[in-house]
């Protein structure tokens, strides 16, 4: 919606619509059109705009505003018709400034950091840096000489980072758009980022491009469409290829400075909804991401993905503990080992929690192994393995719940002891 009002404000301020009493009187109201587009009812918006253009043409009145909005409505309708089927396994609403803290990316997939943390100084632009899995290449956003956000690249040569240079092929010099939130796949060529340019559906949209090594520049970027993009702001698209998990962030239907992070299962093959022969209401809901449950058509796939997500989160926690970060007591206190606990009861609970987590990790690994073997097994073997898988799923699910409840109990017990 923000993008539509921005377009209108630009158009109304153009020389073609220079204010005088008569032209102000002629200026149309497109509230109904904008409401239709915000509701993804692009066909209705197109019909209203075409009718308005016909009327204004007959009266020899300006049509530039309506034509620009009509182009936008046609572009958004095209993206709606190409809405991709995805499987969403989870979502979380967070402050926009904290979005990177809630994306559990494996080290093999690279690293994302806020530029304010990299530079250790305040940053009101929310610039993001991506560093590859080898930690020898960085792609990041920063303001250029004109004050717009642009993507830059720097490489580690020996022990020194090269001078940042703009990514070739991403943005035209005359563009007024901002470019941010970069993420590159492990192939070192496929780049995702967000931009609020003239091809977006509204505000920031997510784009994909690939690096052409022969020309040493990126190919023409492609808007990845719905449901990842929307008339709102869609910021970040991240893929963990090792664990086959993906994240993207959007502020659709969210309060200001708040985003919703969706966790989904990436697919190598893009599958679209059948708009002409299908349930159009269901497709609209899918494009808007109104129901996570409706995307979960394969429950086994969802369970397996959630399992991978949980294992990834615990793996990252373990690695943080080994590098100096461990059990979080509160916003200001981290404990590194059992000796840090002041409460004897909390210390005992913590040791029990470690043992439960260890058993959980082993059972989860066994479950993953069984699932992999199940797909290759004969029909007879599948019958034998089915009960094993179900039993292990129940065991792992029970352990997940126990670990979470134990963490809460440990924190509460320690805090109660410290504040007694």
Do 91 and 25 share a structural domain?
no
Find the domain containing 17 and state its range.
Answer: 2-80
Whether residue 203 is contained in a domain is answered as: yes
Total domains in the fold of the chain = 3
Whether residue 305 is contained in a domain is answered as: no
10 Å CB burial of residue 214 (0-12, 13-18, 19+) is exposed
Do 90 and 73 share a structural domain?
no
Do 105 and 238 share a structural domain?
yes
Q: Which of 49, 80, 111 delimits the end of a domain?
A: 80
Q: Which of 80, 97, 120 delimits the end of a domain?
A: 80
Tell me, what's the pLDDT at 117? 78
Do 124 and 160 share a structural domain?
yes
Reference 181, options 155, 205, 165, 217; nearest CA is: 205
Whether residue 113 is contained in a domain is answered as: yes
Q: Running along the chain, 420 residues long, what does each successive block of 10 average in pLDDT?
A: 42 41 50 84 88 88 87 88 90 88 87 82 81 90 87 88 89 78 94 90 91 90 92 92 93 91 89 72 86 89 88 67 64 75 91 90 86 81 85 90 91 89
Do 65 and 131 share a structural domain?
no
Do 99 and 23 share a structural domain?
no
CA distance 157 to 142: 21
For residue 207 the two structure tokens come to 């784009």
Do 151 and 43 share a structural domain?
no
Do 335 and 388 share a structural domain?
yes
Whether residue 320 is contained in a domain is answered as: no
Do 343 and 272 share a structural domain?
no
Whether residue 229 is contained in a domain is answered as: yes
Do 331 and 235 share a structural domain?
no
Q: Which of 80, 100, 128 delimits the end of a domain?
A: 80
Do 104 and 15 share a structural domain?
no
Do 132 and 20 share a structural domain?
no
Whether residue 266 is contained in a domain is answered as: yes
Whether residue 319 is contained in a domain is answered as: no
Whether residue 136 is contained in a domain is answered as: yes
Q: Read off the pTM.
A: 0.67
């Amino acid at each position: 919606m923000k993008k539509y009002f921005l377009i209108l404000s630009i158009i109304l301020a153009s020389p073609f619509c220079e204010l005088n009493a008569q032209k102000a009187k002629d200026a149309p109201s497109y509230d109904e059109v904008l409401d239709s587009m915000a509701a993804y009812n692009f066909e209705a918006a197109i019909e209203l705009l075409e009718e308005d253009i016909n009327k204004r043409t007959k009266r020899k009145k300006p049509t530039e505003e309506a034509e620009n909005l009509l182009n936008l409505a046609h572009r958004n309708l095209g993206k709606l018709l190409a809405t991709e089927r995805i499987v969403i396994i989870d979502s979380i609403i967070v402050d926009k400034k904290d979005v990177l803290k809630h994306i559990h990316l494996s080290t093999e997939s690279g690293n994302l950091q806020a530029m304010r943390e990299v530079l250790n100084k305040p940053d009101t632009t929310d610039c993001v840096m991506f560093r590859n899995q080898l930690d020898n290449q960085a792609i990041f956003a920063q303001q250029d000489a004109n004050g717009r956000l642009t993507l830059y690249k720097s490489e580690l040569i020996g022990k020194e980072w090269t001078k940042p240079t703009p990514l070739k092929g991403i943005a035209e010099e005359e563009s007024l758009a901002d470019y941010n939130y970069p993420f590159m796949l492990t192939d070192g060529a496929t780049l995702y980022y967000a931009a609020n340019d003239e091809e977006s559906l509204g505000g920031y949209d997510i784009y994909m491009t690939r690096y052409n090594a022969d020309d040493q520049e990126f190919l023409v970027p492609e808007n990845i469409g719905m449901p990842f993009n929307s008339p709102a702001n869609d910021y970040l698209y991240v893929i963990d290829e090792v664990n086959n998990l993906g994240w993207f962030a959007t502020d659709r239907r969210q309060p200001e400075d708040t985003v919703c992070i969706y966790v989904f299962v990436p697919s190598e093959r893009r599958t679209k909804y059948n708009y002409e022969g299908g349930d159009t209401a269901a497709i609209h809901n899918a494009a808007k991401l109104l129901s996570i449950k409706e995307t979960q058509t394969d429950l086994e796939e969802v369970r397996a993905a959630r399992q991978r997500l949980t294992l990834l989160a615990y793996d990252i926690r373990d690695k943080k503990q080994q590098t100096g970060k461990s059990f979080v007591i509160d916003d200001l206190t981290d404990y590194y080992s059992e000796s840090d606990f002041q409460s004897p009861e909390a210390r005992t609970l913590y040791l029990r929690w470690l043992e439960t987590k260890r058993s959980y990790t082993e059972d989860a690994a066994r479950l993953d192994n069984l699932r992999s073997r199940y797909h290759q097994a004969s029909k007879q073997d599948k019958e034998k393995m089915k009960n094993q898988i179900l039993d292990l799923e129940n065991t792992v699910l029970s352990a997940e719940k126990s670990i979470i409840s134990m963490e809460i109990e440990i924190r509460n017990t320690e805090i109660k002891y410290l504040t007694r």
